[in-house]
Amino acid sequence: MLSRYLEIQKAALFSRDQLVAFERRLAHIDLCDANVVVTGSYARQEASAVSDFDYFLLVPEGVDEQTVGRICDDVRSAVASKIGKLPSENGAFGSAVRFGELGLNIGGNEDDNKRITRRILFLTEGKSIGNSTLFKNQRE
């Protein structure tokens, strides 16, 4: 019976190990109180060596655009070095979202696919790395 779940156990262990290594790397980056929100297979602990790393940065108010750009670059570099596979270009992940943005215009004409995708995954499976208070406040 246990062997039926071996692949699930392997994926959970792989996901946890990769996230621990990534969190250690993030400890050397000044996130300026931003939060890395992990979604997808890593958040669900179902990742494998071929999984991409779906994440976005949740950025608090008051952080200037230049700093946000630097944080995005630093986190992207950390993902590349510790995880290996970045999210797809121009998709919903790998970018910054300002605090409060996920709750704007819900269902309205300006509520686009990227925001809807981020919002749903943030609420249903998002994992917080960094400023957990910001993460919890945004969820509320």
Q: How far is CA 119 from the centre of its chain?
A: 12
Q: Other CB atoms closer than 10 Å to residue 77's CB: what's the count?
A: 12
Cα–Cα distance measured from residue 25 to residue 12, given in angstroms and rounded to the nearest whole number: 20
Dihedral of the alpha carbons of 89, 132, 11, 48, in degrees to the nearest 10: 20
Label residue 3 by pLDDT band (50, 70, 90).
low
> Which pLDDT does position 2 carry in this prediction?
57
Is the pTM here over 0.75, yes or no?
Answer: yes
The predicted-structure confidence for 129-139, as pLDDT tens digits, reads as follows 988 999 999 99
Question: Tens digit of pLDDT for each residue in 19-60?
Answer: 999 999 999 999 999 999 999 999 999 999 999 999 999 999
3-state helix, strand, coil in the chain (%, to 5): 50, 15, 35
